[in-house]
């Protein structure tokens, strides 16, 4: 899926996205169908996954326009440099302004799950802050909480306190990032809840363009968030997620050490996972995925 450096300079490839220099201080982000589980990229792509993530992000950038600016310029192939107007990229591209990204992950939690639940279960805290006693796994928190983490070049990100985040980026910018992230989560969670989906937690990417804080990368997608069907939520257990849960469940049932190379995925697991991503998009946006062309 990569173009050659003679056509458009390739800057970086992550687990899911490929980034190119589009000139004029712009970046081109192309979202692939690659899927990682347990930090290992699977051999099989998930059909339409990249298009779902792009469509979902574009939807939220539009919804949040009144809260904070964004780096997004266009999702249309027609607006890209000629070298990037590739039919196979339709619906999976974002032409963006180049931003100076904050060196922290702006995580907001509305429910007690994942690494936060593990910490609470052992110490009664979340990112070092005391929580009320008696909470269960997947309990709704009294209010959304900003729980930043570092961005690890290798390995896993590290949960840090707000004070530690303020030391990294400065107290004023940290306060602004927290305020924006919580407002984005609150608005997004309310929107999704009206459509039968709970957003347990999410990760926002914030950066600076000409000194202005902006929202960047992907926004409230099944890859950056935990989406739960509201009808299946009950404190004390973890509801199924609208994401790669079928892949995780399948891999958990194997005798695999979670190290590369990954085991092959059955066709039915790939198909079920693809359908979950599309279902999440259609439920949240109220739009038909077949209509998405960028």
Write the pLDDT tens digit of every residue in 222-276. 999 999 999 999 999 999 888 898 999 999 999 999 999 999 999 999 999 999 9
Q: What is the pLDDT of residue 154?
A: 65
Confidence band of 277 (pLDDT split at 50, 70, 90): very high
CB-CB neighbours of 146 under 10 Å: 21
Q: What is the pLDDT of residue 39?
A: 87
Confidence band of 4 (pLDDT split at 50, 70, 90): very low
With contact defined as beta carbons under 8 Å apart, do 41 and 72 qualify?
no
Q: What is the pLDDT of residue 157?
A: 81
Whether the predicted pLDDT of 2 surpasses 50: no
With contact defined as beta carbons under 8 Å apart, do 246 and 217 qualify?
no
Run of H or E including 280: helix 267-285
Whether the predicted pLDDT of 7 surpasses 90: no
| H helices present in 124-236, as ranges | 162-169, 171-193
With contact defined as beta carbons under 8 Å apart, do 93 and 123 qualify?
no
The CATH superfamily holding the domain 101-232 is ATP-grasp fold, B domain (3.30.470.20)
Bridge-based pairing of strands 212-216 and 69-70 is parallel
The two domains 1-98 and 101-232 share their CATH topology (first three levels equal): no
Q: What is the CATH number of domain 1-98?
A: 3.30.200.20
Q: What is the pLDDT of residue 180?
A: 98
- Is the four-CA dihedral 83, 88, 90, 94 of positive or negative sign? negative
Write the pLDDT tens digit of every residue in 174-219. 999 999 999 999 999 999 999 999 999 999 999 999 999 999 999 9
Whole-model pTM: value is 0.94
Residue with tokens 């194997």: 254
Whether the predicted pLDDT of 1 surpasses 50: no
Whether the predicted pLDDT of 5 surpasses 90: no
Arithmetic mean of pLDDT, 25-51: 96
Q: How far apart are CA 202 and CA 230, in angstroms?
A: 16
Write the pLDDT tens digit of every residue in 60-72. 999 999 999 999 9
The domain spans of the chain are 1-98, 101-232
Confidence band of 21 (pLDDT split at 50, 70, 90): very high
Residues in Cβ contact with 20 at an 8 Å cutoff, skipping those fewer than 6 apart: 3, 8, 9, 10, 11, 27, 28, 30, 84
Measured between alpha carbons, how far is residue 101 from residues 43, 211, 239 in Å?
30, 11, 33
3-state secondary structure of 231: helix
Compute the mean pLDDT over every residue in the chain, rounded to the nearest whole number.
94
Please report the DSSP string for 159-177 in residue order. Answer: B--HHHHHHHH-HHHHHHH
Write the pLDDT tens digit of every residue in 107-166. 999 999 988 999 999 999 998 889 999 999 999 999 999 999 998 766 678 889 999 999
Percent of the chain with pLDDT over 90: 89
Q: Which two tokens stand for residue 192?
A: 């999704």
Q: What is the pLDDT of residue 34?
A: 98
Residue with tokens 């069907």: 229
Beta strands in the chain (DSSP E): 10-13, 17-23, 26-31, 36-37, 40-41, 69-70, 72-74, 93-97, 100-101, 104-111, 125-126, 129-130, 140-146, 149-150, 197-209, 212-216, 225-229
Q: How far apart are CA 129 and CA 148, in angstroms?
A: 12
């Amino acid at each position: 899926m990569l173009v050659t450096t003679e056509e458009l300079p390739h800057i970086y490839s992550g687990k899911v996205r490929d980034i190119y220099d589009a000139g004029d201080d712009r970046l081109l982000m192309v979202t692939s169908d690659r899927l990682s589980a347990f930090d290992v990229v699977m051999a099989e792509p998930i059909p339409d996954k990249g298009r779902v993530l792009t469509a979902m992000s574009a939807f939220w950038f539009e919804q949040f326009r009144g809260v904070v600016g964004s780096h997004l310029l266009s999702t249309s192939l027609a607006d890209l440099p000629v070298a990037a107007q590739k039919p196979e990229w339709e619906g999976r591209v974002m032409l963006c302004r180049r931003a100076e990204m904050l060196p922290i992950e702006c995580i907001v939690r509305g429910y007690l799950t994942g690494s936060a639940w593990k910490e609470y279960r052992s110490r009664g805290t979340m990112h070092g802050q005391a929580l009320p006693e008696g909470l269960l796994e997947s309990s709704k928190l009294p209010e959304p909480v900003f729980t930043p983490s570092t961005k690890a070049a290798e390995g896993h990100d590290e949960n840090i306190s707000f004070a530690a985040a303020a030391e990294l980026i400065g107290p004023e910018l940290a306060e602004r990032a927290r305020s924006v992230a919580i407002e984005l989560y609150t608005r997004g969670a309310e929107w999704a809840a009206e459509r039968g989906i709970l957003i347990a937690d999410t990760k926002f990417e914030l950066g600076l363009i000409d000194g202005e804080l902006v929202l960047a990368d992907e926004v409230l997608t099944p890859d950056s968030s935990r989406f739960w069907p509201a009808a299946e939520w009950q404190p004390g257990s973890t509801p199924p997620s609208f994401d790669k849960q079928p892949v995780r469940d399948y891999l958990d049932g194997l005798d695999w050490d979670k190290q590369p190379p990954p085991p092959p995925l059955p066709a039915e697991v790939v198909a079920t996972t693809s359908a979950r991503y599309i279902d999440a998009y259609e439920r949240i946006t109220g739009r038909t995925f077949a209509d998405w062309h960028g």
